[in-house]
Amino acid sequence: MTPTSPTVVEEVMGILSDYEGSIREVDPLELTSEERARAHLRGRTRGGRELLVSLEHGRELEEGDLLVVENGVAVVVAAAAEDVLEVLPASPREWGVAAYQLGNMHRPLRFNDNGFLTPYEPSSEDTLRSVGVSCRRRRRGFTGERVGSVTGHHHDHDHDG
């Protein structure tokens, strides 16, 4: 078997449903949340395809992103299982308390319909349990809606004068 050159990916093609009918097989590229956040990486799919990903600065991969379609095979980003804390607030108060505590700890969050995820750390689990918020340690993809800061540091004055 002759080794082949890695496929270079410089942009996301879309999502799998954009190519319905032309895909006969999916070859997942499993990446951790840290890997998905990098604009440049080298990876190997489950099927053994080697890829060099080089995206524009600031672009992050998401689970389900379609990277390559070749001969009916689609390479799709899949979230690798990671050690996460699944937070399951039972009331609006618990939602607020949990988000406040984890925000103070500068923990990344991914929101879903029933709660949210954060990378596992014993201190996060201890803090949430101490304020009465239900959580559990799990192995799963760190996925869900990402919500970043909506404020920035702005000056309303002229620096020249």
Q: How many CA atoms lie within 13 A of 53 on its CB side?
A: 29
Q: What's the pTM value of the predicted model, to 2 decimals?
A: 0.80
pLDDT by position in tens, the chain (length 161): 445 789 999 999 999 888 888 899 999 999 999 999 998 999 999 999 999 999 998 888 999 999 999 999 999 999 999 999 999 999 999 999 999 999 999 999 999 989 999 999 999 999 999 999 999 999 999 999 988 666 654 444 444 44
Mode of pairing for the β-strands spanning 81-87 and 135-141: antiparallel
Q: What is the DSSP string of 95-134?
A: HHHHHHHHHHTT---EE-SS-EEEE--HHHHHHHHHTT--
Domains along the chain with CATH numbers: 7-79 (2.60.260.20), 81-141 (3.30.70.790)
